[in-house]
Structure 1
Amino acid sequence: MPHDITDLRFFVTITESGSLAEAARRLDVTASAVSQRLRHLEASLGMQLAHRSTRRFMLTEEGELFHAGVVEMLANLDGLVDRLRARSGEVVGTLHVGGPLGFGRHYLAPAIAQFHALHPKLMVSLTLSDVVSAADANRFDLIVHIGQLGDSSMVAYPIAPNSRFVCAAPSYLAKRPAPREPKDLAQHDCIVLRENGEDVTLWRFRRKRSEAAVRVPAILSSNDGEVAKQWALQGKGVVLRSEWDVADSLASGRLVRLLPGWSLPDADVVALVAGRTGMSARVKLFLSFLQARFQPAPPWRR
């Protein structure tokens, strides 16, 4: 039987990675090293845990049972260690945090730096990506997410309110009259952000009981929100962006909000936590820290 708990954590990592290549990337080792270690684990157990190739990793029936048992055991062990350390007032261990690129750079990274200063014995790993999947629930202790999330087992905790605005630079509006109704946007140059597989050229508006949906022409598009905003600042067209990202530009006059009488679906900032197990003490503490940091109003509304 394996006697090293790192073997068990290793098995959980490669199982949740979906392939040996991805597991090697996450563990920062070679794929051959991952395969060799898995063979040793199987030999010690006397059973095959998975069918695998370079691109595919599929658990056997025994592997499924072993994985479920190991996940439960590690969760119980981690919870016990957290409770024991909490009795001494220590916050230690590793906190795995995920978040979106732009918001992560501007707000999440500074928050983590301050949190770590309060708890220097804690190790924090931050991964930034604008693509969130259900599998990420097992990779991270907490994920900061903006906007709606598709079907997921993760539980959302509110962090901060965040509206979305349609904006353009004064230089663009000097050439093109500002839209008076959402339908007018169909005649404008529009900049769209490709993210989360959404229908990004269909913009939906609401005013009291009225609703309007307009298909905008995507003159420029990018998967990077900072690029989309910079194009708008350069007068290239109309952009739909989160309040947190454009509040400073609106306040300075570098961008102008359009259609202020109409609202778009909010994209609030939330913390996502896997719902099938209880939160560790360090995750609870970090969640409370984030919520307090963005209250009573987030920075973009102060």
Structure 2
Amino acid sequence: MNESADIRFLLAIRESGSLVAAARKLGLSASAITQRLQQLEKKLGAQLLNRTARRLQFTEEGTLLCERGAELVQQFDMLFEDLQMRRGGLIGTLKVNAPLGFGRRYVAPAIADFQQQHRDVDVALTLSDRPLTETTERFDIVVHIGELPISNRVGYTIAPNARFVCAAPALVKRLGSPESPDELGTMPCIVLRENNEDVTLWQFSRGRTRRSVRVSSHLSCNDGDVIRQWACEGRGVILRSEWDVADDIAKGKLVRLLPAWKAPDADVMALTHQCAGLPARTRTFMQYLQARFRPLPPWRASR
């Protein structure tokens, strides 16, 4: 059998987490997966997996083959991709992870247009409310909004993005407009649950002055579109990204509160595995994504 195919087969098992899941991924029967694994182990003269009813555990030899093999497969793919580039095209599969709302509104259209230009690239988009808690090694690019946590990923800025405190005009008329962040603690607020963050602690600054406010929330959701709609209906105050609320503010559906106070920016980032050695399709898509938001992102273009 082809050594590259053997390594890819083993990597598919590791990524899937089980032989059954690997069978689905590869379009094979469970018995065919088991038979191929046994043939590979016989060929190498080493057991690669310890298989029990509850879990799948790689042996030392299996782990070594996956780790070293993944590097070799990547180099192999990059070689053929470079050859393809010389002929004027990109090849391969690009796996992208993005947040739900931003992914639907901006990343999905960008991917569709990118793939239209590069017909030999297959793009797999995964939308998640917790992109940073996913198995990030599964993805070539992770689109992230906000502060970059400690990570082995390299971050590239895609677009600037502020965060605003907003409420419906009807709610402001009923409760009044707060003059300081502290007053938010007594107002009904709506929060977005994502990335296991402390979502009820809102932070602000004005010059050198800092304020942290613990808001009270009886409504929460993991989908930003839902909390924005609730806010437009006058159900509470939200702290939301500029990209999501700019249109509603412009249309008068939402009013920006505390304009003199600044919440931490939440720039749009693209996270990749490393600076050097990225496949051409990954580099090209990242540059394409950056260009989509220049010179101004859509949420600032109409100002």
Instruction: Tell me which amino acid in the other structure corresponds to 1:109.
Output: A
Equivalenced residues, count: 301
Aligned residue in 2 for 1:45: 44
Query: In the superposition, relative to structure 1, how do residues 133 and 116 fare at CA in structure 2: closer, same or farther (>3 Å)?
Result: same
In 2, Cα distance between the equivalents of 1:133 and 1:300?
A: 24
Task: Give the counterpart letter for 1:293 in structure 2.
Answer: R
2 CA distance for matches of 1:176 and 1:11? 61
Over 3 Å counting, the alpha-carbon distance change for 1:55 and 1:223 in structure 2 is farther
Q: 1:231 to 1:115 in 2, by over 3 A?
A: same
For the structure 1 residues 32 and 151, does the alpha-carbon distance in structure 2 shift closer, same or farther, using more than 3 Å as the test?
Answer: farther
Between 127-136 and 182-191, report the one with greater CA deviation: 127-136
| 1:30/1:221 CA distance change after superposition, 3 Å | farther
Alignment of 1:261-276 (within 5 A): 261-275=260-274
List aligned pairs for 1:287-302, cutoff 5 A: 287-302=286-301
- State the AA in 1 paired with 2:69: V
Aligned to 1:119: 118
- 2:275 and 2:142 map into 1 onto residues whose CA distance is 15
Unaligned runs of 5+ in 2: none
1:40-83: CA deviation from partner (whole Å, max 9, x where unpaired)? 43333232212344653332111111111211110110110111
Shift of 1:9: 1.5
1:250–1:257 contact (8 Å) kept in structure 2: yes
1:277: Cα distance to partner? 5.9
Moved more, 65-74 or 134-143: 134-143
Distance 1:277 1:73, change over 3 A: farther
TM-score in terms of structure 1 length: 0.92
CA distance in 1, matches of 2:76, 2:48: 23
Name the CA distance, whole Å, in 2 between partners of 1:74 and 1:240. 44
CA contact (8 A) 1:162 1:266 kept: yes
Q: Does residue 142 of structure 1 match 2:134? A: no
Alpha-carbon RMSD? 2.2
Checking the alignment, whether the CA contact within 8 Å between 1:189 and 1:237 is kept in structure 2 is yes
8 Å Cα contact 1:168/1:239 also seen in 2: yes
Alpha-carbon distance change, 86 to 245 in structure 1, aligned in 2, over 3 angstroms: same
Identity, in percent, stands at 52
Alignment of 1:268-287 (within 5 A): 268-275=267-274, 278-287=277-286
Report SS of the residue matched to 1:76.
helix
Matched residues in 2 for 1:217 and 1:134: separation?
26
> Which amino acid counterpart does residue 165 of structure 2 have in structure 1?
V
Alpha-carbon distance change, 164 to 56 in structure 1, aligned in 2, over 3 angstroms: farther
Q: Per the alignment, in what secondary structure is the counterpart of residue 174 of structure 1?
A: helix
Deviation at 1:213, TM superposition (A): 0.1
Determine if contact 1:202/1:216 at 8 Å carries over to the other structure.
yes
Cα distance between partner residues in 2 of 1:137 and 1:199 = 21
Q: Deviations over 1:237-287 (max 9, x none)?
A: 001111111110011010011111111111111111112861111111111
Q: Would the alpha carbon gap of residues 118 and 59 (structure 1) be closer, same or farther in structure 2, given more than 3 Å must change?
A: same
- 1:66 corresponds in structure 2 to 65
Deviation, structure 1 residue 291 = 0.8
Q: What is the distance in 2 between the residues matched to 1:281 and 1:272? A: 15
Aligned residue for 2:239? Answer: 240
- Secondary structure at 1:13 match in 2: helix
Q: 1:33 to 1:241 in 2, by over 3 A?
A: farther
The 1:63–1:33 alpha-carbon spacing in structure 2 relative to 1, beyond 3 Å, is: same
- State whether residues 17 and 23 of structure 1, in contact with CA within 8 Å, keep that contact through their aligned partners in structure 2: yes
- The corresponding residue for 2:256 is 257
Query: Which residue identity is paired with 1:215?
Result: R
SS at match of 1:62: helix
1:194 is matched with which residue? 193
* Matches of 1:106 and 1:81, distance apart in 2: 33
Q: Are 1:142 and 1:271, in contact at CA under 8 Å, matched by a contact in 2? A: yes
Q: 1:135 to 1:225 in 2, by over 3 A?
A: closer
Cα displacement (A) at 1:99? 1.0
User: What does residue range 1-20 of structure 1 map to in structure 2 within 5 Å?
Assistant: 2-3=1-2, 5-20=4-19
Distance 1:281 1:237, change over 3 A: same
Contact 2:132 2:195 in 1 (8 A): no
**Residue identity in the other structure for 1:165:** F
Tell me, in whole angstroms, the C-alpha distance in 1 between the residues paired with 2:27 and 2:152: 28
TM-score (norm 2): 0.91
1:6-29 Cα deviation digits (max 9, x unpaired): 332232132234445665665566
CA gap of 1:255–1:71, structure 2 versus 1, over 3 A, is same
- Alpha-carbon distance between aligned partners in 2 of 1:223 and 1:261, rounded to the nearest angstrom: 28
Once the two structures are overlaid, the 10-residue window that deviates more, 25-34 or 239-248, is: 25-34
Structure 1 residues 95-134: aligned runs within 5 Å: 95-133=94-132
